[in-house]
Structure formats: structure tokens, C-alpha cells
Structure 1
């Protein structure tokens, strides 16, 4: 079937009836094998549909046997429609005349591949057109001033959806035949504008100058707003530098937020609102509150304007996109959930499940291996009998020290590199890469050193990069990204694209927003939780058709069950159970006031100086120092910590709640402005750690053991997030205990799986030290390869000379190359350390 406009074919369809024994797969086969792609009728069509009673697929390019069809379904499996075929939406929504003309005019375009210069016809996927269409209809019906949350998974084609939405909002007219919005502002939270997003929006530009990308600072942004540029692309941070912009009275704005999350619930978004809102508009909002109708002084008026600027504003509409909405995001941008009394949900959804099942992203949980570390600690000669330590702090310190121990770093490094070289490096046509996620900057440095050492020793011929912020000092040596990667590496993301670089080692960098399709394997040596789990592991989910067949995660910290729980929240629809209880804010304010650290007169003085006289915060420094060094210091340490936590909690909660309340209470705003500055002056009670405990304990045994290997299965069900209402922050009591008991409790938990193999290794090391021939070879002026060869021979000899050879352990060494390399490497470095100490002694 061909659909033509004025005799020009634009759409072809192969229609199959399942009641006669044929379905959509027969339609695909017909296009691939029986239809000649050079046929003029087919060649000139913009899109081709394969359709049966329940399913629709589409392609914009016929390549005979290489033709690739994409799903064009409402959900993974189209829902049943009473008295209709499940695929009836295709002709009722898409192929209907007005809809088809709208798609041809506003969606279809040609995209050029930057590398190959190949031209591809782009036709919107069902959910992309459905999302934009429904948003436009709602705005047209309800006007400006609403917020919309779009929960679209990775693989949804979000950049194109945003581009289509921005351009069509810029041309959307109301019943009065006037544009509903004067400007569309596309906001990205990243400090550097998203290049892909810029490109997508720019390439839809029909009239030159429609799109203005702000790259030159605040003056360019101010001019774009005053000139009424149709589409403005900017970072959120730039609005913090421009203040209120003149000549915007009566203007209405649509703000499209790329990757909406917690940063849109604080001061940054208030700065944006202030920039786009005139004094007159704020006065009109305040006047609608009957309680604020009595005469007020200038300070109250100013406070009301500040507070009003935080709330929903009638001339601003927000369109927020995210794959992983947090509770705050759902409440701030979502719509009321009809199934809940006071809950919220997204306006439009394209779920992770659908993206996976339709093949647009990989399921990163398909191959998930967890490994656990088992170790035994012993007190050494420095341990003081009977000395007590705070138990929780001591345990935390000792376990952290184990994780940084050279044995632990080396053991895990050998496992990771052995797996990469044996299993990963050949994937994706030999181009596969891996990422190691570490728990701290120090760990990143230690792993980078160990990885590079093993790679050099074993001649793997690959390179690594490390990513962390600032400077890290270990044993007196200072490390930076530049010192470890080399001064020529300026852009890590770009450098990692080069074929020689195979492994990226990260500490709180590149865990979100990093798009590298060649990432196949992830090593995790960090505790994950909540949204961070999904965002981090999803670095692997990008697809490469016909090349990237699978992914792998090896996790040394987290368990299958924990990962499953975190992903389940965002696998299908995500909603919020209830709204935030605003009374909690008043309760928190009361708790802070009850501590009697400052007075109402001091708040009044501050507001007079800060709001009316507009003095800079540094001028008020002596004022706040006096408060911080007064009654506050007389409180017990636990009360000081509680007071400081409560102030921090009030500041954070108010910056969010002030955006969702619909009334003006200037006392809350005064308290917020005052406590926000006071918090910076309150002395931080730095936790004292019993560092001497580290010197009193040695690690005697260490082993890494595989625990779980397989797929993590997610349930096909929606998730309901609980809105955290907050509670009093209390310090957990930390009873004191003698070191012997602390060590025993740690060993009871972490030494349970240690057995004969660990004893074999320890005995073997002692045997090697007594091997005079081996030690002489290590002391001689031989090259390292010769020394290592001699060591391997001595290990084999030591094992066989044993009265009862450890056959099971020997089999493990022969089967596990990573373990064998690790054992040899560790013995070599320990024995060479003995040799060097003898020389220097």
C-alpha cells in the first residue's frame, strides 16, 4: 500500500492479517526479500511501515536483506483496545490527514553523519511524536504557568524530542492568534553546553537566527532575552550572574530543562525566575494573597517579591526531562497522580523496560558478577593491651585501610586486568573499553599505579586514564590527573576515544552524562545506592548495532539484591506516594529557635542590613562570627551537631518547599536568608578518628571470592517512591571497646570464608624466603624477566616438595591465569622488598 500527496509517494505499508496466518515478520521479510529497494515508488518514500493487527514497525531506508526496522508501538507490546485492533492507533493518530501533514511539516528531516557524510531520513518514533503532541495540546488548552515532567529513559532519543518540542513551542499560537511564548529557553545543568543537544536544535532551524546558543557570557544572554530570540540555549549557571532583566514586562517563557534533578530545586532556579520576572509581575502575584493586603514597609515588600519569585509563576512553563526522577523532581515538575490522594507522576513516559525490549539500550544487568573480599586481621607488637577505642570509628578505619592495602589493590587489579585481557578486549570488533569506578580519589590513584605496573610487567600493550579532581597526597607524593595521565592529555573524554586507551579509572567523575558506546565492561569498587546506581551502571547501556552483543559488570562491593532494588524504581513508571508536609518546615524552625543561639532582634537587624541596605555578606562577617562564637559554643557537642544539622536541613528544605507553596510567609524567608549565612560561620565539629589503631593491626590473610554470577531480573511493575519527610538528625552512639574485641568482630564477619588456600600461600612465602638459590638469583644483577622465571620455577618446586601437595590450589593456579599472575607478582615484590632491605640494612 502506498500513501501519496499530490501523486508523490511518501509512505509505503505492508499490511498483514494475523487471522489469515500472516504477521508483521512476514511483512518485514517481504520488504527485505521481495521488494526491490530501488523501485521508484519505494525509493522516494520517507518511511515504510510493516503492520499487523497488533504491531507496527518502521524504517526510513530499504536495503534489501540489510533493512533494519524499528518498533513503532505505544508500549513494548501494544495494549488491547476494546473493539479495535491494537495497532489501530497507526491509522487513527498518525496516518490521519492533519496529523500526517503536521509530521511532514514539523518532524521529518534529513540528518548527515559527521564522519561518513551519509544522509539519513529521520521520522519520529511513536513516543517522541506522542510526547510533543500531548504537551502542545495541554499548553494550548491551559496556557502558561504549568510544569511538566517527562520521564524518558536513555535510548529514547531525548535530544531530538527536546529539539522538536522547542521549535514547535516557538511557533505555538493561542486562541487570540498570538504566540503563547515569546522565547523558548533550553537549559542544561552542565557547565559546558551539551554539543549533541545544540546540534539537534540547530539542525531543525528553518530561518537563520531562530536559535541562539549562549557561549559568550551574561551579556549575550541578556541581549537574547531582551531581543526576544525565539530559542535560547544556555547553562543554568549563567542566570546567577544577570539579575533581573529590564524590558521583559508581559513576556512569557517556556523553559525546557535537560536532565532535571535536585539542582532545579534550589537557588539556581530562583535566579532564573528572577531574571525572567519583572517587579510588576511579582507585585501582581503578591496582591492575589488576601493576607498580604495590609500596608507594608519596604523590607516586607522586598521579601514578598523574593518569596514570590520562588513559586510557580504564571508566565513561566517548565518542561523537565529525566530518566530517573527523584521525589523532589516528581513533586516539583510532576502532575497529580489520579491513583493517589496527594501523589505525583510524570506527564509522559518512555520506560527503561521499553527501551531495553525495543533494543535501543542494552540491559546492563544481564551479566552481573559480584565478588567479596575476605580477610583476617591480627594485632601486632604495637597494640596496647586493654586500650579502648570508639568501636564504629575503629572498624570503619580498619576496613578502609584493608581496601587500600597493597595486597587488596593488587589482588583486585590482577582479577580485573586478567578478565579484561581474556574476555573483554576482543569484544566489539576488538574495540571494547572498560571503566573502573572507585570509592575515593586515593583509590583511583592506587589503582592507576597498580594497573600501569601490571600492564608493563605482563606486556599487555594497553593504556589507562584516571579521572579525579584536585590533588591527592599519598605517602608524601602528590598526584593529579595531569601528572598521572601526562601533560598532553587535556580532555579525558576525547582522549579515551583513541584506540590505545582501554580502561578509564574514575573517582566521582564520568559516572553521569558520559556517552561512550565502546564501554563494554565496568568494574565497581564502590558502594552504590539509589539513583546513583542506575546512573553509574547505565554508562554501559549504549548500543552499537550488530557489534555490541553484550556487556559485563564485575562488582566488588554491592550485592545483586541491592542493585535490583535500585533499578526497579526506574524500570517502568515512577510515581511519588504523597506531597511534602509543609508543616515540617515550621517544626524545624521551632527546633532551631528552641536552642536559643540567636534572637529575633538579631534576625531583624540582619534583614534591615541585608535586604534594605543591601550590604554585602562579608560586611556582616563580624556579626555572624559573634553569634557563632557565643551561645553556640556553650552547647554540648551533641547539641551543637544537632543544631548545625537542623539549620542545614531547614536551608535545603526551604529552597525546595518555597517553590511548591502557594502562600506568602515572609517570616520563613527571613529565617531562610539569616540561617543560610549563619550556617557558613558555625564551626564544623570535625570527626576525630582513632588513627593510631591502624598502626596496631596488620592484615594476615586476604582473598577475593566470586559470590554471584548471572542476570539480575527486574519485575515488570511500576514503582512508588516514598517522599522522605525528614526527621531529627541524631548522632549514632559509638561505645568504646578494647582492640582485641574490635578485631575479633571484624574477623567474625570477614574471615569466615578463609581456608586452606590462604594457609598454603602464607606457608609458601616462608618456604620461598628460605630458598637460598632463589634469593641469590634475586640479589644478583639479573634482568627482571630472569628473576621472575626463577621465581616461577621455585613456586612450582615448593608446591611439589610439600609432603601433602595442595592439589586443589595447584589446579586453581593452572586454570586461573589472573590468580597465577597475581601470586607470582605479589611474591616477587615482597621478596624483592626483603632483598632491598637486606642491602640497605
Structure 2
């Protein structure tokens, strides 16, 4: 093949091609690529793929190799078809060996020897499917062994909406020419300044991740790091995953902090000298995906880990909630790939798993370990991964677990560790992190998460003092009791609150409920609903939830709100008001699903003991907090509002908002007893932001809006544009000042307190 020469114009437009070629990708002109795929109606390079199939699988006949290519081409251009393409790429599909008369795995990619693969990169990839009214063109396409794997949209760096436009364009491809995305697994968006990536078939701004291989790296470094052949192929093999959410197949890719944690976990499990580790990743950063991926890697490496057993200890609330569907799907896919899987549905099941020396993946809940026989398994290749580890090892349950598998390696995953690094025996750091100098194996902080736009900052405001508890009452009736108890989950919190009769009486009084409900109705109508967002109202108990529902129904359309709380068989007699509003299981499932969608009801969920952990609804913007909480429970609840969200018009949610009716956020050092560095920047008072906005507007008015007496409007504008703003530094300063004010404005509006400032 002749050497390609890229013009200067092309080099400027697509420097990615040049950078990728320096790490092993062969450049193809658009004409060469179109010829190799036999016209614009096709996506594969059939000759390249056939050659690689025959090279990696010598037992395949020529006809069989072509039949495999036809099978891949025939897959539908849907997310399910895309999943099948990935299975082919990963070597998970089989074909019949006619000589040996058996099914054999088909190798499509050589992951161990990257240089054995045909790696191509080209640009202006045009597709014109025969059955479509129009075609489309991708800016750049990366192809592995004849199969397109990554599509790139390259935008003008001067366009401030470049990323939004790139996402919109990719979504348009999905609708107009889904064939363009049939095989591609990943997408990149770039404008030479920032570098973003995500997966196809789940293309939205929320699922677009900033690539940060190293801090401060150049664009060239970013491209070369992302497409370094060995690491890139590993992304295809290990980091892309499919899951079920609300009955729909979804797709994601692990981000750098997740990959780092997975590698740290796998290395710790292979370390014969250490058998504990703590993964401290903040709420909303994808801990469960991290845990499941690490488990899959360990089980699949049978020689390295001697045919291991991995036990996933999953939180009861989450396993019974939204995680159930995709955990079931992922477990099913593991079984399809010959990874044995068992669910411990009872203590008897779990004991039988140990007694039968089961090898593979086990999913259990922590309470199943109660009374499990000591030394049930003495093997050292048992690996226990504990989700929400800050509460899962509480009391005697953790002791039962460790006694049952005394030689196991145990890794805890949490966003809110209990105790400090110098804490006592029940500290998360002491239980899981004592073998690491910092007290943890891998950390991803709140601040890092916000910087990466994995989560959003949370702003809060205090409700009028007439609705809040007096600080001394809160100290006496809540903090004093809570400090004496191990409050690591919502159930333990509720047990503490059951003893605070005076506090619950105050929070649940009819007059106060009516007052708070009126505030919530007005605030939601004026500040939340106009943004297209939704809200939680968190009440102190189920009785008060029922009161709030009835009060809000008098102020807002009844279909706007719904209660979601636990059931008790005696409610029909003891608490008829609570029982009357309880949802059936099917209705609750429907409400959970509909709440996440902008165009469906309800808009407000009234909760107290459900949905405060493990429920991910990015559209959730505001939390009206009327329940005393602290530490882990509080941070987990607040994290419900910190998920990024982009509406159908491309407008991004900037922050999450908490309105505190109890007063617990007045003194953060009491409410959140973590190191200040772990929460700094994550929670900020709206009053502080409003003061900052007013100061910035006043300064900008003085800087830019003062008029010169005697000059007309055109003359003043000409003086600014052709005088002051000729300087690049002055233009940059103006742009930075404007963006600072714009960011604060978007956070604080709509609000009557936000000033409307115009030039004199």
C-alpha cells in the first residue's frame, strides 16, 4: 500500500489521525477505505477480516470464515446486535470444527499480541445504506481486523457548544443511519482542547466522560494514550459492559478511576502477603460496576487464581431494587461464557455452596452469613467483595463472614467509610485498610468526581427558621442519641428516630406539615418545575409521608406526587392512613421508572425509608430534607441529587439542590464527620453563592457597563470592540468574567433574588 500524504489542511482538521498513526494505527485515505469495504453501503473490510479469521483460527475453512463474516454483517443495527458484535470481538462466540466435530471458540482479535492485528484509521467515512433515505458521514473511524470499533466526531475548538453538537450528531446517526453504529463500540468527541469518550447506543451528554489519562496531558498525549493498541484492545475486552435498566438494555464503559480500582483489586487478590483492601469511591461513581468487573476478571483467569470462588456480598436494598435486573442479566451472560454462577437464596443455600466446594461466582446478602459454620471454606482463593462495606460488616454479621472463610481475601467497597484512618476496630479503615499505608487500596474523592463531571456539586439552602428545629433541640434529641449508636444505614437511623418522640412529634405535627407543604409547593412550582427537573420530599417517618401527600394534593395536582415507603402487615390496623397510600409492587416499580422520565408523572416522590440509596434518577434535582440524618446515611441521601442530567434540548443540570427543613446542614462538622478535604467543594450554601453573584455583577457593571458622557451608543460600542477588546488578554478576561456570572446565574435562577441588571 502506498504511503499516504496528508495535506496541511487535513492535518489541522484531523490531527487525531496523525497522532494515532505514531502508536501503530495504519492510515487509510477515504478512497482506500471505501474500496476495502466494497462501497458506501457496507461497513466491514471483508478481506481483512477473512484473513485474520484464517490466521487466528487455522481450523476454519475459507467458506466458514466467509460465513462468519456474513453472520456479523447480518446482525441488526441495534444495541442487541452491537452486543453480539462485541461477543465476536471478545472471542465469546463459537463455530463448528468440521475436522474435530465439535464447537470451538472463534478468535477475532489477538489481545495478547496487539501487533498481530490489522489496525486502521481513516476519515470522512461515508455510508449510504440502500434502504435509507439519506446517508451520513463520520469524521474519523478506527477499524480493528476489518471491523469498525470507534467513531469520532471532531468539532471546531471555537464552538462553545461543540460537545453538545457532537452528541446530537451521533444521536442523529443512530436514528437516520443506525448501520453506521452497528459494529462500533466506542465514540470520541474532541475539539483539540478537551477529549471525551463514551459508548455507542447509549449516547447522551451524561454518559460522555472526560479522558484524563494523566493530568495536564496534551491533545496528542490524550489520543496516543487512548488508542495505544494494548490498552485500547483491553478496553474492548474488559471495560465495555451491557446491563439492564428499567427493562431496557443499556451500555457503558468503565472510566479511569474504575479501571484503576479494578486493577488494584485484581493485584491485591493475587498478592499472597495481603488479604484485605478498601475501595473508597464516592457516591455515584460506579462502585458496583467496578466490583462486578473485578469479579469477572478474577474468575476468568482460572490459571492465575486456581479456579477461584468470588462472593459478591450485595446490599439487600439495592439487590431488591433497581440493580436486580442488570445483575441478573450480567450473571446470565457470565453463565453463557462458562462462568458458573450461584445465588444464595437462603442460609442453607450458602452453606451448601461452601460444603460443595463451588467454584465460580456467588451472589449473597450479608445476613445470609448469620450462623454459617465456622471454617466453612479454608481455601485461600476465595475472594469476598462487599458492596456498601461501611454497613455490611456491622455488628456480628461481619464476624460470621470472616469466621466462615478465614483465609479469604476480603475487599470492601464504599463511598462513606466508617471512622477515621486511625479509628478503632470497627473502622472501615481498620477492617479493610490496615494493610495499606493510607488506609485504603484505591480512592476517588467527591472533589475528583465533581472535577471530572462524574457527579455534580450540591448546593443547599436552609428553610425559614420557623419550620426548623432549634439547634439545642437538635443536639439533645438527635445528635446525642445518634452519636451513641452505630448509624450506618437507614434502618439503624430509623431505630434511633423511634426513640426521639419529641422530635418526631414536632416534625410530624399537622400545622407544621401544612406549613412545609405550602413552602415545598411554591418552591417547586417556581424553582424546580420550570427547569424540567423533579424532586424528593424526605419525611421523618411513614406517617408524616402520608400527611405530606394529602397536604400537597391540596396545593398541586395529585398526579404530581406519589409516596414510596415500606410495608408492614399490621399497617391496615395500626396505621390505616399509611396503608391507604401504600403502592403495590407493580405500581411502585412503575413509579420508579416513570419518575426518571421528563414527560411522565410523578414529579415529586415522598419518601422516608426507600430510594435513599441505590436509586439513580438523574432528573432528580431538588431534595426537600425534613428528616434528621448524619454521616453515611446523610451523604448517601444527598447523593441522590448529584447525578449529571441533560434534557432533550441539551440543557445540562448544573448542580443538585437540598432544602434543609431540619437544620442539620447549619453545622456540617456535626452532620458529616469526615475529613474536611473529602467534602470541601461538594456542599455549598446558596446564600454564599448569592452574595458572590451580587459582588461579581457589581464588579462587572463597573468594569464593562459604565458609559462615557457625551458618546452615543454606537460610538461607545465601537470604542469597546475596536479599542479595549482588540487585546486578546482583555477578551479572555471578559469571557472569564462572563462565564463566572453565567455559571452562578444558572445555579441560582429562577429566583426572585437574582437581580436583572441592564446597562444605564
Q: TM-score, normalised by structure 1?
A: 0.50
Aligned residue for 2:412? 320
Aligned residue for 2:199? 60
Aligned residue for 2:384? 255
User: CA shift at 1:183, angstroms?
Assistant: 0.3
Aligned residue for 2:51? none
Out of 283, 305, 312, the residue aligned to residue 186 of structure 1 is 312
Q: Does 1:346 align with 2:440?
A: yes
Give the distance between the partners of 1:468 and 1:538, measured in 2 at CA: 21
Instruction: Choose between structure 1 and 2 for higher RCO, CA contacts under 8 A separated by at least 6 residues.
Output: 1
User: CA shift at 1:233, angstroms?
Assistant: 0.8
Counterparts in 2 of 1:385-404, with a 5 A limit?
A: 403-404=507-508
User: CA shift at 1:409, angstroms?
Assistant: 2.9
User: CA shift at 1:99, angstroms?
Assistant: 3.0
Q: Is the 8 A contact 1:254 1:318 kept in 2?
A: yes
User: CA shift at 1:269, angstroms?
Assistant: 2.0
Give the distance between the partners of 2:435 and 2:687, measured in 1 at CA: 41
Name the SS for the 2:311 alignment partner: strand
Counterparts in 2 of 1:616-627, with a 5 A limit?
A: none
Out of 231, 237, 247, the residue aligned to residue 361 of structure 2 is 231
Out of 215, 226, 243, the residue aligned to residue 79 of structure 1 is 215
Distance 1:275 1:87, change over 3 A: farther
CA displacement, residues 200-256 of structure 1 (integer Å, 9 cap, x when unaligned): 64265264562524253233323433242311111111121432476x454521111
Give the distance between the partners of 2:556 and 2:178, measured in 1 at CA: 57
Out of 496, 510, 514, the residue aligned to residue 410 of structure 1 is 514
Q: Does 1:467 align with 2:565?
A: yes
User: CA shift at 1:483, angstroms?
Assistant: 2.2
Give the distance between the partners of 1:376 and 1:515, measured in 2 at CA: 30
Out of 88, 92, 102, the residue aligned to residue 234 of structure 2 is 102
Name the SS for the 2:464 alignment partner: strand
Counterparts in 2 of 1:694-733, with a 5 A limit?
A: 709=687, 711=689
Out of 541, 550, 570, the residue aligned to residue 452 of structure 1 is 550
Distance 1:424 1:572, change over 3 A: same
Give the distance between the partners of 1:560 and 1:482, measured in 2 at CA: 29
Q: Is the 8 A contact 2:521 2:555 kept in 1?
A: no
Give the distance between the partners of 1:234 and 1:376, measured in 2 at CA: 41
Q: Is the 8 A contact 2:299 2:310 kept in 1?
A: yes
User: CA shift at 1:168, angstroms?
Assistant: 0.4
Aligned residue for 2:449? 355
Give the distance between the partners of 1:411 and 1:244, measured in 2 at CA: 55
Give the number of aligned pairs.
501
Aligned residue for 1:371? 464
Give the distance between the partners of 1:464 and 1:237, measured in 2 at CA: 31
Counterparts in 2 of 1:127-276, with a 5 A limit?
A: 127-140=257-270, 142-143=271-272, 145-172=274-301, 177-180=303-306, 182-190=308-316, 192-193=319-320, 194-195=323-324, 198-199=327-328, 201-202=330-331, 204-205=333-334, 207-208=336-337, 210-214=339-343, 216-225=345-354, 226-244=356-374, 248-250=377-379, 252-276=381-405
CA displacement, residues 82-101 of structure 1 (integer Å, 9 cap, x when unaligned): xx748737635x54443333
CA displacement, residues 498-535 of structure 1 (integer Å, 9 cap, x when unaligned): 55555444445543334444533322223333223212
Aligned residue for 1:5? 144
Aligned residue for 2:48? none
Distance 1:213 1:322, change over 3 A: same
Distance 1:519 1:250, change over 3 A: closer
Give the distance between the partners of 1:481 and 1:433, measured in 2 at CA: 23
Q: Does 1:331 align with 2:430?
A: yes
Aligned residue for 1:437? 539
Name the SS for the 1:161 alignment partner: helix
User: CA shift at 1:73, angstroms?
Assistant: 1.5
CA displacement, residues 725-762 of structure 1 (integer Å, 9 cap, x when unaligned): xxxxxxxxxxxxxxxxxxxxxxxxxxxxxxxxxxxxxx
Give the distance between the partners of 2:469 and 2:617, measured in 1 at CA: 39
CA displacement, residues 10-60 of structure 1 (integer Å, 9 cap, x when unaligned): 3466899x9xx9899979978987999669998744324456887532133
User: CA shift at 1:423, angstroms?
Assistant: 4.0
Name the SS for the 1:359 alignment partner: coil
* 5+ long unaligned stretches in structure 2: 1-16, 18-120, 122-141, 420-426, 471-479, 482-499, 595-599, 693-750, 753-760
Q: Is the 8 A contact 2:513 2:547 kept in 1?
A: no
Give the distance between the partners of 2:231 and 2:559, measured in 1 at CA: 56
Give the distance between the partners of 2:308 and 2:254, measured in 1 at CA: 26
Aligned residue for 2:60? none
Q: Does 1:91 align with 2:91?
A: no
Give the distance between the partners of 1:513 and 1:236, measured in 2 at CA: 16
Name the SS for the 1:155 alignment partner: coil
Out of 652, 659, 666, the residue aligned to residue 554 of structure 1 is 659
Give the distance between the partners of 2:660 and 2:679, measured in 1 at CA: 26
* 5+ long unaligned stretches in structure 1: 277-312, 339-343, 378-391, 576-706, 715-814, 817-841
Name the SS for the 1:168 alignment partner: helix
User: CA shift at 1:472, angstroms?
Assistant: 10
Q: Is the 8 A contact 1:160 1:200 kept in 2?
A: no
Q: Is the 8 A contact 1:154 1:323 kept in 2?
A: yes
Aligned residue for 2:579? 483
Distance 1:90 1:155, change over 3 A: farther
Distance 1:53 1:348, change over 3 A: farther
Give the distance between the partners of 2:275 and 2:461, measured in 1 at CA: 42
Give the distance between the partners of 1:208 and 1:491, measured in 2 at CA: 35
Q: Is the 8 A contact 1:524 1:557 kept in 2?
A: yes
User: CA shift at 1:160, angstroms?
Assistant: 2.1
Name the SS for the 2:393 alignment partner: helix
Give the distance between the partners of 1:564 and 1:199, measured in 2 at CA: 40
Give the distance between the partners of 2:387 and 2:456, measured in 1 at CA: 22
Q: TM-score, normalised by structure 2?
A: 0.55
User: CA shift at 1:131, angstroms?
Assistant: 1.9
CA displacement, residues 605-629 of structure 1 (integer Å, 9 cap, x when unaligned): xxxxxxxxxxxxxxxxxxxxxxxxx
Instruction: Please report the RMSD computed on the Cα atoms of aligned residues, expressed in angstroms.
Output: 4.9
Name the SS for the 1:434 alignment partner: strand
Give the distance between the partners of 1:571 and 1:489, measured in 2 at CA: 41
Q: Is the 8 A contact 2:281 2:415 kept in 1?
A: yes
CA displacement, residues 90-129 of structure 1 (integer Å, 9 cap, x when unaligned): 635x544433333332333455776566x75x43322222
User: CA shift at 1:329, angstroms?
Assistant: 0.9
Q: Is the 8 A contact 2:549 2:563 kept in 1?
A: no
Distance 1:223 1:57, change over 3 A: same
Counterparts in 2 of 1:577-592, with a 5 A limit?
A: none
CA displacement, residues 542-569 of structure 1 (integer Å, 9 cap, x when unaligned): 3443267354322122265424875694
Distance 1:712 1:258, change over 3 A: farther
